Amino acid sequence: MGLVAVAALTVVPLVFPFGFLLWQSLAGGWQTVLPPGRLAELAVNTLVLTGIVVVGAVLIGSATAWLTTRTDLPGARVWSTAVALPLVIPSYVLALVLLTGTGRQGILSEVAVAMGGSSLPIPRGLFGAVLALVVSTFPYVHLSLVPALRTVDPALDEIARALGAGRLKRMRTVLLAHVGPALRSSALLVGLYTLADFGAVSLLGYDTFTRAIFLQYAGRIDRRPATLLAAALVLMALAVIGLERFTRPPRRERRGRVVRPPRQHQLSSRQRFGAVTFLTLLVTASVGVPVAVLGAWWVRGTVSGRETVAVWSEMGRSISVSIGAALVVAAIAIPIAVLIIRYRSRFGVILEATAWTVSALPHLTVGLALLLVGVTFLLPLYQTLSLLFVAYVTMFLPQALGPTEAALREVSPNLEEVSRSLGHSPLETFRRITMPLIGKGVLIGAGLVFLTTMKELPATLLLRPTEFETLAVRIWSTTSEGFYTRAAFASLVLIMISALPMHFLVSRDLRNA
């Protein structure tokens, strides 16, 4: 009973805001508010960016995953972790890196000029957005392909070879068939990420839905245009999710364990040199350069007497709100995981699908929808941390749900039954048996939520309580106001805080693969 209540308490808040958003946007007679041509233009811009970023991220991510799992590349494990490092740098910080790195006074321009070149132009618009977003997203492709590539059964390849299949055919029938689902889902993830990205496109001035939504929101007293655009973006995201689901081939699960690791491709010394060069450049460009540019800009600004404001209170807020979100989301994920795994309730399945779908919707629209709901129905919660936490639950529940469910699946129900038969109540059983056994999974989920909350910008921007500036919000506002020195410092702090737990999670992820 209690479990169903939790589920109901979760599904309704998850879905209702979006329903309200759609309803609000239609209520006003949309053509009068927004010319259809403008909608089409934004849709095209958004899709062009999404397409390019997906292709770029998949190409780079597949290359790194293949090189670090299927070849005899020296130090493959170290490379595999290094390649995932850009995950600690939010896309809006990468935008800041581009803004502080290029232009006449840019750090990279100065380096270029010192080396006899000319200063680099600021990559505004599509080009800059692609750069920032590809760097932000290719690690996701890498992380999801590595486990898939590690578990290709070499026997399949050998059989195909014995049957006379050529290299290309084997690649298609054996390798792609096995890693296909991972490739697909990571491409979907990258696509949704790009569709949803707000910070990078706004700061680099590429006109997508999210940028337009925020500009309409901030620039007009009439909220309808922003609402309408947000509704359009929600529908677009749903269409992408739906399209992926409908065109997904049926899942063919291969039973049985893979006994041997897959065959390693022997790199020639020239190939090895090429691979190491590629990875070195990639890691340098995606992590080394951003940190160096931010650091150099900050030092240069500070030395030349620019005002830098300490961001310790922002840091405190970011950390505490992220810890809070991690605890709340993890706590809500536990009963839902129990509902899904132990009770195999249809309701649980619906809830899970809802949670995944809703979490895939752009955070800016989550923020806007909850803002509308807050102002309209929940005034006491409006502008409080509670509403912000509702947003975090909406956006991040699956991140905690995934590892918690996986952990719970590993715990035999017999253990809980034995405990009951030994005289312990269900609650006591949960406390003494289930919880200690799923603790690690819950912790991992909480860690993921912590990190994403740390980086989250658009929903926090819209829903934060008065005077509650977090690091992300501060980086956003100082960058868009042009106070790059302060933004650079805040960004460095954010990266430092994220780096440690991220490293722990990523290296664990790759080790377990």
Partner 1 sequence: MPDLAITCVGIGKRFGPTVALTGFDLDVNEGDFHTILGPSGCGKTTALRIIAGFDQPDSGTVRVGSQLVAGPSLMVPSERRRVGMVFQDFALFPHLDVEANISYARNIRLGQVARLLDLVGLSGLERRMPHELSGGQQQRVALARALAPEPRVVLLDEPFSNLDAALRSRVRDEVKEILIEAGTTALFVTHDQEEALSLSDRVSVMAEGMIVQTDRPADLYRQPESPWVASFLGEADFVRAHADGGTAMSSLGSFPTSLQGACQLMIRPENVLLFADAEGPGQVISRQFFGHDQLVSIALAGGETLRARLGPAPDFQAGERVAVKVDEAVVFPL
Partner 2 sequence: MVLLIVVLLLACGGGAATTTATTAAEGGTVVLYSGRTEELVGPLLSRFEDEAGIDVDVRYGSSPEMAATILTEGPDSPADLFYSQDPASLGSVADLMEPLPGSILALAPERFSDPDGRWVGITARSRVLAFNPELVDEADLPASYRELTEPEWSGRFGIAPTNGSFVTFVSAMILLEGEEATGEWLEGIAANDPVTFDGNSPIAAAVDAGDLELGLINHYYLRELAAEQGSITAQNHFFTEADAGSLVMPSGIGILSTASNPQGAESLIEFLLSSESQAYFAETNFEYPVISDAPAPEGLPAIDTLVSPVLSSAELAGVLDQATDLIAAAGLA
Interacting residues toward partner 1 by CB under 8 A:
412, 414-415, 417-426, 432-433, 436-437
Nearer to partner 2, 108 or 152 (CB): 108
- What tokens does 264 get? 């390693």
CA 45 to chain centre: 21
Residues 6 or more apart in contact with residue 35 via CB below 8 angstroms: none
Those residues with Cβ within 8 angstroms of residue 371's Cβ, 6 or more apart along the chain or in another chain: 382, 462, 463
Q: Is 485 in the site for partner 2 (CB under 8 A)?
A: yes
422 contacts which partner out of partner 2, partner 1, none, CB within 5 to 8 A by kind?
partner 1
Is residue 29 a contact point for partner 2 (CB under 8 A)? no
Task: Kindly tell me which residue out of 36, 116, 423, 482 binds partner 2, with binding defined by CB under 8 A.
Answer: 482
Stretch that binds partner 2, among 140-148, 251-259, 270-278, 328-336 (CB under 8 A): 328-336
- CB of 284 or CB of 425, closer to partner 1: 425
Contact 201, 210 (CB under 8 A): yes
Amino acid at 424: H
Q: Residue 47 class from Cβ within 10 Å (0-12 exposed, 13-18 middle, 19+ buried)?
A: middle
* SS3 (DSSP) at 71: strand
Residue 39 binding target from partner 2, partner 1, none, CB below 5 to 8 Å by type: none
Q: Does position 478 bind partner 2 by CB under 8 A? A: yes
DSSP H/E element including 248? none
CB of 52 to partner 2, least distance (A): 21
Q: How near is the Cβ of 288 to partner 1 at its closest, in Å? A: 42
Q: What is the DSSP letter of 174?
A: I
By rule CB under 8 A, what count of residues binds partner 2? 63
Question: How far are the Cα atoms of 221, 355, 358, 477 from residue 344, in angstroms, in the given order?
Answer: 48, 16, 21, 46
**What is the secondary structure of 300-335 as a DSSP string?**
HHHHTT------HHHHHHHHHHHHHHHHHHHHHHHH
For residue 40, the partner it binds in partner 1, partner 2, none, with Cβ less than 5 to 8 A by kind, is: none
Listed in sequence order, the residues at least 6 apart from 44 whose beta carbon sits closer than 8 Å to its beta carbon are none
By the rule CB under 8 A, 220 interacts with partner 2: yes
CB of 3 to partner 1, least distance (A): 16
Q: Which stretch binds partner 2 (CB under 8 A): 90-98, 133-141, 291-299, 473-481?
A: 473-481
Q: Which of 19, 281, 481, 496 binds partner 2 (CB under 8 A)?
A: 481
Residue 71 near which of partner 2, partner 1, none (CB within 5-8 Å, type-dependent): none
Name the residue among 452, 432, 503, 498 with its Cα closest to residue 330.
Answer: 452
Site string for partner 2, 61-100 (x = CB under 8 A): --------------------------------------x-
- Beta carbon of residue 439, minimum distance to partner 2 (angstroms, whole number): 15
Centroid of chain to Cα 120: 30
The CB-of-93 to partner 2 minimum distance in angstroms stands at 16
**Cβ-contact 107, 293 below 8 angstroms:** yes
Token look-up 């709340």 returns 328
Q: What crossing angle do the helices spanning 126-150 and 91-101 adopt, rounded to 10°? A: 130
| Residues 6+ positions from 414 with CB-CB distance below 8 Å | none
Shortest Cβ 225–partner 2 spacing (Å): 8
Q: Which of 222, 410, 417, 428 binds partner 2 (CB under 8 A)?
A: 222
> How far apart are CB 224 and partner 1 at their closest, in Å?
50
Binding site for partner 2 (CB under 8 A): 2-3, 5-6, 9, 35, 38, 41, 99, 103-105, 121-122, 124, 202-203, 205, 212, 215-223, 301, 304-307, 324, 327-328, 331-332, 334-335, 338, 375-376, 379, 381-386, 389, 465-467, 469, 477-478, 480-485
